[in-house]
Amino acid sequence: MASVFERSGRWYVRYKDGHSRWVQRVSNARTKTEARRLAHDIERQSERQRLGLEAAPRQENSDTVFQLLQRWAATRLDAPSAQRDGYSIAKHFGRSEVGKLPASLLRGPDVENFLAAKRAEGLSPETINHLRGFLSRAFNVARRPGWWTGPNPVTDVRPLRVPRRLAPDYLRFNEVLPVLAALAPRWRPLFATAIYTGLRRGELRALRKTDIDLERRLLTVARSGDRDTTKGGHADVVPIAAELVPFLAAAMNSSPSEFVFVGLDGEGMTGHLRPEKVLRSAMARAGIVEGYLHVCRRPGCTFKESATDATLRRCPVHGARLWPKPKVRKTRFHDLRHTTASLLMQAGAPIHVVQKVLRHRDPRMTANVYGHLAPDYLQREIDRLNFGISGLETSEPEPFAALVLRAPPVGARAPKRNRKSLVASDAWLARSTGLEPLGRGWITSR
């Protein structure tokens, strides 16, 4: 006997399917009455399947949605985002009702309700679309080895519209030198290479001495992290700036291994490296801050005061000195890649050159992200609107009220106001004021 129950504002249906297995699934019913009607329809269909009057879903499709996602994740262990995607699948599908549902019973409304619940939890539209994409790709890939033979239930679920991101952060031209000077010597070559070449963090980790030709000033990007390929799946050669040569030479001479950049143990850097803290500390020491938060460090005191400088201040409660904590921009290590592109564009480098340095396949991506930073961006095109206007912008227009209330010219006589002279009167008003008269309607009496 099918039953219904409510949980977290949603109605669930529990019934015995065509293979005599008890199944519990979320429905799109809004009321208990709708849920009961749906449960009755599903029970009738399942009974027909058990009696052989209607084809039941194949037993091979007995994997749950979560198991199907795990199968798909296992086929792409070499992908750059495989580990991160695996975490997301376990986090969002592992204990969810959709994840426990047999894949053969998943329908579009189930996916929509699941994504709506995740949206209510505060997930961004981009993350919601990622979860939808996991499901869609898992069902599509499962068809190839025969794990799945039914339709893809995600096909009719439309992705959310993702708002366009703001321009990425980057170090300004006058900030690069102070930041490099504020870094410790062991970090300076790594950050300098990131700024001058635009390499990603994983590509810097995997960089080997054999990838660098200082004589010809060429650098080969062939690996990323622990993988023998890059994010784009191909090797590229990028030029080495003249100012970068001594930094690379110092890193190669001090490295005891085949890698250019190494950790404290002399081996290659691990994937757990988080250089953002090093970068922001260097920015703070260089004075590249948005202000200071003066805090009292006395136990139990929560006094805080924001200021634009680090001038000595005292706590109004205890009279103790306040500690100035610099407020640094939330600049990421990946933003150094944006720094490379942004400063090249501002220096006048053509878009196709920046595209080659960043190794973008599509130049439109480079133009969309960094095109607004190019000097005279769109200025030459907007200047095509040239009407030969000269001096008009400096003349002051006559006030509107004066234009309306202006008396008729001296010597001008207004025509008599009667029906026969209406047309002449309107023409005189238009010439004297520059405005068209109001429309009039005639009321006649019989």
Give the percent of the chain with pLDDT over 70: 81
Q: Show the DSSP H helices in 82-165 as ranges.
A: 82-93, 97-100, 108-120, 125-142
Residues 424-444 have a mean pLDDT of 52
Does residue 63 carry a pLDDT above 90? no
**pLDDT range class, residue 446, cuts 50, 70, 90:** very low
How would you class 114 by CB atoms within 10 Å of its CB: exposed for 0-12, middle for 13-18, buried for 19 or more? buried
Specify whether the CB–CB gap between 140 and 150 falls below 8 A.
no
pLDDT at 409: 57
Mean of the per-residue pLDDT values of the chain: 82
pLDDT at 445: 46
- Which CATH number is 173-282 given? 1.10.443.10
Residues 379-392 have a mean pLDDT of 73
Specify whether the CB–CB gap between 188 and 261 falls below 8 A.
no
Domain layout of the chain by residue ranges: 3-56, 61-142, 173-282, 289-327, 400-433
Integer-rounded Cα radius of gyration of the chain = 35
Residues 4-9 have a mean pLDDT of 81
**pLDDT range class, residue 64, cuts 50, 70, 90:** confident
Specify whether the CB–CB gap between 235 and 221 falls below 8 A.
yes
Does residue 405 carry a pLDDT above 70? no
Give the percent of the chain with pLDDT over 90: 35
pLDDT at 302: 87
Q: What is the pLDDT of residues 101-114, one digit of tens each?
A: 888 888 888 999 99
pTM: 0.64
pLDDT at 196: 95
